């Protein structure tokens, strides 16, 4: 083949498509730098707002890829490539992927909300998704709980966000609710004074709000008193168990043992 002819064809190709290729490359370069700058600014903004680093980095990369793809379409168009079929194929592929991953996407969206709004934090004891435990970690797709008997439970984030979340460590103080039954024959003021004395000896009980001791119910087999002192959240279970034991011992010593359910049966002899 004639070398001069090849050179001439190459020159003609460059003359026809060179400016388009240079324009396309320029669009890609500009789009790359814009995507990099905008995504970096977004990541820094999210980090400044104390958003979890996992979420901020993921969102930054997602935005970077989206902006780069947006700049790729006009670049291909300037290069003389038909983008209509490419856009249609990408749309169909995106729809198929979205349908296949709709469960994972819902978990991801719920994970972003959990990390952004923080209804619970690592170390909190919560009830969520039908189970309870201490939060070990919150990732983009699942939440890990450690149960009191040291079992690890993984809950999908969509299940956590779609149900009520009870956070037992969100507030600094908690109220201990106890129900104490005494016999109907017992002296109610004496029983209340006895319980008040026990509460005053417990150092973990807070002076404010003042503890409540009151008659709550005249039950079938007992007069039920409610005992409601306030403690720091970290002292809840220790105080709860210690009070139950101390009140039981004190009532036994005062001959006011907590009654158990009982029923009186009367037989009538017919004439």
For residues 170 and 118, the answer to whether their CB atoms sit within 8 Å is no
Q: Which CATH number fits domain 173-253: 3.30.70.100, 3.40.50.1820, 3.90.1300.10, 1.10.3720.10?
A: 3.30.70.100
What six digits make up the tokens of 30? 């500009």
Do the bridges between strand 131-138 and strand 142-146 make them parallel or antiparallel, or are there none, so unpaired? antiparallel
Question: Looking at residue 213, what is its pLDDT?
Answer: 95
**Of 171, 162, 161, 176, residue with least CA distance to 125:** 171
Question: Looking at residue 120, what is its pLDDT?
Answer: 86
Question: Looking at residue 161, what is its pLDDT?
Answer: 86
Segments of the chain assigned to CATH 3.30.70.100? 173-253
Predicted confidence (pLDDT) per residue in 240-263, tens digit: 999 999 999 999 898 887 777 766
The band of 70, judged by pLDDT with boundaries at 50, 70 and 90, is: confident
The CATH number assigned to the domain with range 119-167 reads: 2.30.30.60
What six digits make up the tokens of 155? 């809950």
More confident position, 103 or 148: 148
Segments of the chain assigned to CATH 1.10.287.1260? 3-100
End-to-end CA distance of the chain: 134
For residues 247 and 195, the answer to whether their CB atoms sit within 8 Å is yes
Question: Looking at residue 109, what is its pLDDT?
Answer: 79
Which helix (H) or strand (E) is 206 found in, with range?
Answer: none
Pairwise CA distance, residues 58 & 99, whole Å: 21
Pairwise CA distance, residues 135 & 119, whole Å: 11
Q: What distance separates the 2 farthest-apart alpha carbons in the chain?
A: 137
Average pLDDT value over all residues in the chain:
80
Is residue 122's pLDDT more than 50?
A: yes
Question: Looking at residue 229, what is its pLDDT?
Answer: 96
What six digits make up the tokens of 186? 């017992």
Which helix (H) or strand (E) is 182 found in, with range?
Answer: strand 178-182
Fold designation for 3-100: Helix Hairpins (1.10.287)
* 3 state SS for 92-150: HHHHHHHHHCHHHHHHHHHHHHHHHHCCCCCCCEEEECCEEEEEEEECCCEEEEECCCC
Is residue 10's pLDDT more than 60?
A: no
The band of 271, judged by pLDDT with boundaries at 50, 70 and 90, is: low
Question: Looking at residue 257, what is its pLDDT?
Answer: 77
Segments of the chain assigned to CATH 2.30.30.60? 119-167
């Amino acid at each position: 083949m004639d070398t001069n002819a090849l050179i001439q064809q190459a020159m003609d190709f460059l003359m026809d498509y060179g400016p388009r290729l240079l324009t396309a490359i320029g669009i890609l370069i500009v789009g790359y730098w814009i995507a990099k700058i905008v995504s970096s600014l977004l990541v820094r903004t999210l980090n400044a707002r104390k958003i979890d680093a996992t979420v901020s980095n993921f969102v930054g990369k997602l935005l970077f890829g989206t902006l780069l793809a947006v700049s790729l379409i006009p670049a291909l168009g300037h290069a003389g490539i038909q983008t209509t079929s490419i856009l249609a194929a990408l749309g169909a592929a995106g729809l198929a992927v979205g349908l296949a991953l709709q469960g994972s996407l819902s978990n991801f969206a719920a994970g972003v909300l959990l990390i952004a709004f923080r209804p619970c934090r690592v170390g909190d004891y919560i009830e969520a998704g039908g189970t309870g435990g201490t939060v070990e970690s919150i990732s983009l797709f699942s939440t890990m709980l450690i149960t009191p008997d040291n079992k690890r439970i993984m809950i999908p984030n969509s299940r956590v966000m779609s149900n009520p979340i009870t956070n037992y460590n969100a507030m600094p103080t908690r109220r201990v609710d106890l129900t104490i039954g005494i016999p109907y024959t017992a002296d109610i003021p004496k029983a209340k004074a006895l319980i008040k004395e026990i509460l005053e000896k417990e150092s973990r009980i807070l002076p404010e709000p003042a503890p409540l001791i009151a008659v709550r119910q005249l039950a079938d087999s007992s007069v039920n008193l409610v005992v409601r002192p306030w403690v720091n959240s970290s002292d809840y279970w220790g105080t709860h168990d210690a009070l139950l034991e101390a009140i039981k011992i004190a009532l036994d010593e005062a001959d006011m043992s907590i009654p158990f359910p009982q029923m009186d049966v009367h037989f009538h002899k017919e004439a």
